[in-house]
């Protein structure tokens, strides 16, 4: 049991929340008013934050408090800029504190601080999404009585601090959250209950963790020899790291489904809802990507959609470079993260030019099949470099990379990207 808590801290807490999510789904329609439904989600998130993060939960509570003050005190035309910069500066300060504890103090930061930073990063997604909705007019501030304003702030705090998304989970709009919470009072619990969907996701998590454990044991017992063996060993390491993310996404999706969030359509009486609407990425379709750009869209899909809306579509120059640069900032600006995300940006730019020129020129079936296989292998090795760089984070761990033959793949993409840019005579 101690090994489970140590190695699967996030997963164990998410699994322990499943009964509370199912209790909410059962009790909300008949036994909880709208106000109590919001309080159930919000207070549950507060209790979860204090229980898992301890005093570090103040990092999350402070960000929530400042966000509500900005929403109330700043006009809708300027609220997004205020929320964005205040939240990102606060998150950057907290990341610098984390780096200081990891590096300069020569001692590892506590798991509670890591959980607080992970929760703060997810909170950044939610508050900036709400601020964008306010600026674009998708959400309107209540102009009526004080009770309506308090109810609105309660719904905002519930959305930001909900226990279903505090430690992880797909990002869904505030309007969808309100529709699900308010809709539970006008209909009975769904029949059948999503126990089958939740059970399947839990089984998928167990399978992923079992395969990941076997892969790590295999990597420990086999040393990397020669360029090919070295590439395969690093690829296996990166695959095990990605499988950890797939496990976290699956259990987070199951927790949201258990609470009644995420159906693609409301369940009108006899018709059962479709619970496949919330997903951060399917391992099969993501790992089968034959293009680096396609992998970037499918990997952590709701975060990728958030980055497209927040940065990519609003950028006038170099949207790809700016988007991946902002992603490195959002992740903490560790040296490995900066190098990794800039490598990914160069690979995406090279991918656009390569598939536009080479892919379109192929006409035979065998040629396309061979090209698809080589493209898949190339995508896997590029993502391998990116994942290991991002996860390494520290400067000292980057010293081993000059001896790694796998480094040839991102260097090839960087050279190809420079060729395309120089040929087009534009920077991006």
Catalytic residues: 300, 331
Give the HSE-up count for residue 61: Cα atoms under 13 Å, Cβ half-sphere.
Answer: 14
- DSSP alpha helix (H) spans, 111-225: 111-135, 146-161, 174-183, 195-221
Residue 68: exposure state from Cβ atoms within 10 A (0-12, 13-18, ≥19): middle
C-alpha torsion angle, residues 103, 108, 112, 117 (rounded to 10): 30
Provide the 3-class DSSP secondary structure of residue 194. Answer: coil
Q: Which residues contact 356 (CB under 8 A, 6 or more apart)?
A: none
Q: CA 9, 13, 16 angle in degrees (round to 5)?
A: 145
Q: Answer yes or no: are the C-beta atoms of 13 and 53 closer than 8 Å.
A: no
Q: Which residues contact 119 (CB under 8 A, 6 or more apart)?
A: 49, 53, 59, 60, 166, 167
Q: 192: cis peptide before it, omega within 30°? A: yes
Give the HSE-up count for residue 361: Cα atoms under 13 Å, Cβ half-sphere.
Answer: 7
CA gap 77, 237 in Å, rounded: 46
Tokens of residue 20, six digits? 């509370």
Strands (E), 16-143: none
Q: Answer yes or no: are the C-beta atoms of 11 and 50 closer than 8 Å.
A: no
CA gap 141, 136 in Å, rounded: 12
């Amino acid at each position: 049991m101690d090994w489970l808590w140590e190695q699967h801290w996030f997963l164990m807490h998410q699994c322990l929340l499943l009964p509370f999510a199912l209790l909410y789904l059962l009790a909300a329609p008949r036994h909880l008013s709208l106000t109590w439904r919001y309080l159930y989600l919000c207070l549950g998130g507060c209790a979860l934050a204090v229980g898992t993060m301890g005093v570090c939960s103040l990092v999350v509570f402070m960000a929530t408090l400042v966000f509500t003050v900005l929403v109330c005190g700043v006009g809708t035309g300027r609220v997004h800029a205020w929320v964005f910069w205040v939240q990102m500066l606060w998150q950057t300060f907290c990341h610098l504190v984390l780096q200081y504890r990891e590096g300069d103090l020569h001692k590892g930061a506590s798991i509670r601080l890591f959980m607080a930073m992970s929760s703060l990063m997810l909170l950044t997604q939610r508050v900036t999404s709400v601020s964008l909705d306010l600026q674009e007019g998708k959400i309107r501030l209540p102009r009526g009585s004080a009770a309506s304003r308090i109810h609105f702030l309660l719904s905002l705090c519930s959305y930001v601090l909900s226990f279903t998304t505090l430690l992880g989970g797909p990002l869904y709009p505030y309007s969808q959250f309100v529709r699900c919470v308010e809709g539970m009072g006008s209909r009975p619990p769904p029949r059948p209950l999503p126990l089958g969907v939740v059970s399947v996701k839990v089984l998928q998590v167990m399978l992923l963790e079992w395969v990941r454990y076997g892969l790590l044991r295999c990597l420990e017992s086999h040393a990397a020899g020669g360029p090919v063996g070295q590439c395969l060993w690093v690829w296996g390491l990166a695959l095990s790291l990605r499988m950890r993310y797939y496990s976290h996404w699956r259990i987070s999706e199951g927790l949201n489904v258990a609470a009644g969030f995420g159906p693609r359509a409301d369940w009108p009486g006899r018709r059962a809802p479709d619970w496949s609407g919330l997903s951060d990425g399917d391992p099969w379709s993501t790992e089968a990507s034959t293009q680096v750009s396609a992998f970037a869209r499918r990997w952590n899909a709701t975060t990728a959609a958030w980055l497209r809306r927040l940065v990519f579509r609003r950028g006038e120059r170099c949207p790809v470079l700016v988007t991946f640069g902002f992603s490195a900032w959002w992740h903490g600006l560790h040296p490995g993260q900066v190098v990794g995300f800039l490598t990914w940006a160069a690979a995406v730019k090279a991918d656009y030019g390569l598939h536009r020129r080479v892919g379109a020129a192929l006409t035979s079936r065998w040629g396309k099949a061979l090209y698809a296989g080589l493209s898949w292998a190339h995508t896997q090795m590029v993502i391998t470099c990116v994942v290991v760089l991002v996860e390494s984070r520290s400067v000292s761990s980057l010293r081993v990379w000059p001896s790694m033959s796998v480094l040839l793949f991102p260097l090839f993409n960087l050279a190809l990207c420079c060729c395309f840019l120089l040929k087009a005579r534009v920077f991006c």
